[in-house]
Amino acid sequence: MNKYEIVQKIEEFAPLETQESWDASGWIVDLETSEVNKVMYALTITDKVFKEAVDKGCDLIISHHPLFYVPLEYRRINMYSAHTNLDRAKGGTTDVILQKLGFTGVGDDFVRIVTLETPMSVEDLKKKLLTISPHLRYVNNSGAKTVRTIGFCAGSGSEFINSEPVDAFVTGDLKFHTALEAKPVVFDIGHFESEIFAPKLLESITGVRGVIADEKSPFIND
């Protein structure tokens, strides 16, 4: 398989020029040979994921989260990442969450807005979100009972919470002071839980069947 042809499909779906200026999407390690035999798809390249790739004979890792620093030992496997460009793309990480939940959203940037025909109780929305994130937490500073408009942003979307005219907002990595000042009901489903669908998404985009990395959230919830 030609690694550049594989990556080209990702860049057609999520063009590199749409990534944020601080991001490092693209080739992380680009070895001389263009041919690869086995692909691993991962959310985050960690020591554990790298070792799994080596053990399973993978010579290309395609991840969602990029590495801003590449350890020397990692530089023997091709690595490519699609991060904020995949988040922003139509059908990208946030849209996958909506598909899993049976919602349809609109939006041209990182945030997707769902407008329900009939208002949903906060409790029912919580139960729905628990199906993809069993350890979510939420804040409801206004004491709202129902919601009709819901914003979604996979990963760390706290910066968008109060900028969107919604009744509820779903994201990950909610910080204390942001929670205190939140106007809508905010559900923190976890950064990991909101993006763990990315490896399968990347596999479907390339059309190349590979190894899905064995990854778990670093947080322990007994």
Q: What is the residue extent of each domain of the chain?
A: 3-87, 93-191
Domain 3-87 belongs in CATH node 3.40.1390.30: yes
Taking the C-alpha atoms of residue 101 and residue 131, their distance in angstroms, rounded to an integer, is: 8
Half-sphere exposure of 21 (CA within 13 A, CB side): 0
pLDDT at 178: 95
Structural contact between residues 119 and 146, judged by C-beta atoms closer than 8 angstroms: yes
Indicate if 93-191 has the same CATH topology as 3-87.
yes
The CATH code of domain 93-191 reads: 3.40.1390.30
From first to last of its 222 residues, the chain has per-residue pLDDT tens of 999 999 999 999 999 999 999 999 999 999 999 999 999 999 999 999 999 999 999 999 999 999 999 999 999 999 999 999 999 999 999 999 999 999 999 998 999 999 999 999 999 999 999 999 998 999 999 999 999 999 999 999 999 998 889 999 999 999 999 999 999 999 999 999 999 999 999 999 999 999 999 999 999 876
Could you give the CA distance from residue 33 to residue 2 in angstroms, rounded to a whole number? 9
pLDDT at 164: 83
Pairing of strands 137-139, 211-212: unpaired
Q: What is the pLDDT of residue 101?
A: 97
Residues 59 and 57: their CA atoms lie apart, in Å, by 6
182 closest CA partner among 203, 200, 167? 167
